[in-house]
Amino acid sequence: MTETKVIKLHTPLKEQEIRKLNSGDLVELTGTIFLARDRVHKSLTEKIDEKFQAKLKNGVIYHCGPIAKKENGKWKILSAGPTTSTRMEEFEETMMEEYGIKAVIGKGGMKEKTLNALQNFGAVYLLAVGGTAALLAEKIVKVKNVFFLEEFGIPEALWEFEVKDFPLIVSMDSKGRSLHKEVLEESEKKLKEIA
């Protein structure tokens, strides 16, 4: 196993702590996270919802559609890895501005609009390793709530989880550095050389 320094984060997140994070840092997050993907983002940004403004303040969004099972009236999460974040590019700035989101978890990274918003609102993008859904589900200690379940179905509902030591990589920071942008530029340069 690789031994590297891991930074511990707890919710509610503090902006000054988030602003210290650098792309490439390894992070473990403990506290509450909210699962939101395509339809929740569309819904919450079309009409600003006061109830969720209070809930999501200084909070964390996770781009994920889990596999969930109800046992004796209680939800259990079996598998919960990240989905592709770029589909939420249009909405994330509003989520930071209107709902006070301080960290976005997903895979694949996001684009310029979100990178700017991370700087403006003191937030960070955290990469979870795509496909590692059984490993990540082990870090979910409790399902606290689920909203929009009837309307959107299990994979697209807004789930509220309590997690412990959720393993993540900072891949876009609040200082304007994006590992995704760097890798894209380097690979495009290399492509020009060989194509």
Partner 1 sequence: MKEKIDLIQALVELYRLTSVCLPKDVKQKIKEIREKETSILAKKVMESIEQNLEIAEKKNLPLCEDTGIPIFFIEIPKSFDQNEIKERILKATETATEKNFLRPNAVDSLTQKNSGTGVGKGIPTIYFEQKERTGIKFNLILKGGGSENIGRTYSLPNPELKAGRDLDGVRKCVLDAAVKAQGLGCPPTIVSLVVGGTKDVISFESKKQLLEKLGEKTEGKEKEVIEFEEKLLQEINSLGIGPMGLKGKNTVMGVKAKFLHRHPASFFVEVSFMCWADRRHSLIWKNGEAEYD
CB of 131 to partner 1, least distance (A): 4
Is-catalytic flag, 41?
Answer: yes
Give CA separation, 176 vs 23, 35, 122, in Å. 9, 25, 11
Say if CB 175 and CB 21 are below 8 A apart: no
Is 12 among the residues that bind partner 1 (CB under 8 A)? Answer: no
What are the b/e assignments for 72-84, b being 16+ CB within 10 Å? eeebebebbbbbe
Is 155 among the residues that bind partner 1 (CB under 8 A)? Answer: yes
Is 138 among the residues that bind partner 1 (CB under 8 A)? Answer: yes
Helix (H) or strand (E) holding 119: helix 112-121
Name the β-bridge partners of 79.
67
CB of 162 to partner 1, least distance (A): 18
Interface region with partner 1, contact rule CB under 8 A, candidates 9-17, 94-102, 140-148, 150-158 = 150-158
Token pair of 131 as six digits = 């496909």
Interface region with partner 1, contact rule CB under 8 A, candidates 88-96, 107-115, 117-125, 140-148 = 107-115
**Residue 113, amino acid:** K
Q: 191, exposed or middle or buried, with CB in 10 Å at 0-12, 13-18, 19+?
A: exposed
**Residues between 31 and 70 that touch partner 1 (CB under 8 A):** 39, 64-67, 69
What are the b/e assignments for 135-162, b being 16+ CB within 10 Å? ebbebbeebeebbbeeebeeebbbbbbe
Interface region with partner 1, contact rule CB under 8 A, candidates 1-9, 53-61, 94-102, 116-124 = 1-9
Identified binder of partner 1 from the candidate list 10, 22, 53, 134, rule CB under 8 A: 134
Which CB atom, from 131 or from 176, has the smaller least distance to partner 1?
131
Q: Which residues are catalytic?
A: 41
Where along the sequence are the contacts to partner 1 (CB under 8 A)?
1-2, 4, 24, 26, 39, 64-67, 69, 78-81, 83-84, 86, 107-109, 127, 129-135, 137-138, 152-156, 167, 169, 171, 179-180, 182-184, 186-188, 190-191, 194-195
